[in-house]
Amino acid sequence: MTNDLLGRHRAVLPDWLALYYEEPLELTHGEGRHVWDAQGNRYLDFFGGILTTITAHALPEVTKAVSEQAGRIIHSSTLYLNRPMVELAERIAQLSGIPDARVFFTTSGTEANDTALLLATAYRRSNTILAMRNSYHGRSFSAVGITGNSGWSPTSLSPLQTLYVHGGVRTRGPFASLSDDAYIAACVDDLKDLLGHTRPPAALIAEPVQGVGGFTAPPDGLYAAFREVLHERGILWIADEVQTGWGRTGEHFWGWQAHGRNGPPDIMTFAKGIGNGMSIGGVVARSEIMNCLDSNSISTFGGTQITMAAGLANLNYLLEHDLQGNARRVGGLLIERLRAVAAHVPAVREVRGRGLMIGIEITKPGTDEADPQTAAAVLEAAREGGLLIGKGGGHNTSSLRVAPPLSLNVAEAEEGAAILENALRSIP
């Protein structure tokens, strides 16, 4: 049956629509931190629909909220008042830390980043954007145009002029050998130099932890130091929290808070985890930025009642059960366990991350050369052992991505680590 479905998939869907595994999986249902495929095989899910199932599969509180809302009204568009949308916007505005915040809901992180770029360029009357090397911001025309990862940027055409900044990958590049303080200083000097050679940009967009790039991150404080330079010139800071938000990094609710000594970002985007699988994205910005557009706009599907009901129930559960704290505690144990394993596997260059957002970089032993074939082999071996993980990395890296639901318990973390250990030790 799976082979039949694969054939049908290939007959009607694009060739560039990626599928994991030599024999792709059809997942049919899930519960908690586990999912099952069409053959009845059970897997511990350490990727959560690309960091989207943030609380748990089939979380009763969310499924009940969706079911009850579906029985009332599913959708009406933003042309009508929408109580669940207002209620979720109030919660997110308060949690964002952005003063006098306004919230606009979209259906995805791509659309959220697209909207943030529209706001920034309109507000600043500039189509120049600063972006980080090795970054990823979505698959729309404008988001692809600012993505600093060649593996996910299929065209050089763009409505924007994009300038790429150093700093998103701590252990690679020309500043990798420096101390954290010297690294930040060098990146700031590079940014100042870049700004001296271009017309004033609209904004810097940056992921606090680069997701598709392999869970890479700068030293804490880099974006705070960037913010000082940007603020002096009136340039906005957009924090892309699509993968880092809602407590996933454990230490903070938002990734930007590791760089927050100069206050919150001007614009913040979110998606993925807030819906726990429902299609929710959005933008938070100061009112003068959000309200700068001088033409009419609506959203047909952004903020629809059924997704807002899911988001409210999911956010309530996440906060009431302190899943951020759980991510810090269980994630800390998991990353130390994986580092201990990696110390005996020559192909692992680095285990990095924070909370339940962990990257394992795979290289040819004794070198910094990426080894995507070995990374793919570990992905397959983990699946054979009953564990689902992800992949990522830039053009010169190959990384495994570990991002379970934030309700992961210690026993499940240990089980997943043991499967990953066997998979890594299976490398020839």
Question: Residues 349, 257: one domain?
Answer: no
Question: Residues 222, 331: one domain?
Answer: no
Count of CB atoms within 10 A of residue 29's CB? 11
Full DSSP string of 158-199: -SSEEEEES-S-TTSSTTTTS-HHHHHHHHHHHHHHHHTTSS
In which element (H, E) is residue 390 found?
strand 390-392
For residue 13, give both structure tokens.
């869907």
For residue 318, give both structure tokens.
């996440």
pLDDT single digits (tens) 78-87:
999 999 999 9
pLDDT single digits (tens) 258-298:
998 889 999 999 999 999 999 999 999 999 999 999 999 99
pLDDT at 262: 83
pLDDT single digits (tens) 386-427:
999 999 987 566 999 999 999 999 999 999 999 999 999 998
pLDDT single digits (tens) 153-203:
888 788 899 999 999 999 999 999 999 999 999 999 999 999 999 999 999
Question: Residues 288, 344: one domain?
Answer: no
Question: Residues 298, 407: one domain?
Answer: no
Looking at 272, 301, 320, the residue that finishes a domain is: 320
Bridge partners of 203, per DSSP, are 129, 236
Question: Residues 290, 183: one domain?
Answer: yes
Q: Report yes or no: 373 and 347 within 8 Å, Cβ to Cβ.
A: no
pLDDT single digits (tens) 374-384:
999 999 999 99
Question: Residues 283, 187: one domain?
Answer: yes
Question: Residues 137, 183: one domain?
Answer: yes
Question: Residues 295, 421: one domain?
Answer: no
CATH code (residue 193)? 3.40.640.10
Reported pTM: 0.95
Closest residue by Cα to residue 342 from 362, 356, 327, 366: 362
pLDDT at 37: 97
Looking at 267, 295, 320, the residue that finishes a domain is: 320
Question: Residues 83, 212: one domain?
Answer: yes
Helix intervals (H) in 180-322: 180-195, 222-232, 287-290, 305-320
Question: Residues 290, 174: one domain?
Answer: yes
Range of the domain at 343: 2-58+322-425
pLDDT at 1: 59
pLDDT over threshold 70, residue 33:
yes
pLDDT at 155: 82
Closest residue by Cα to residue 395 from 418, 416, 364, 370: 370
CATH code (residue 53)? 3.90.1150.10
pLDDT at 267: 98
d(CA 45, CA 35): 6
What is the percent of the chain where pLDDT is above 90?
Answer: 91
d(CA 33, CA 57): 6
The mean pLDDT of 113-134, rounded to a whole number, is 97
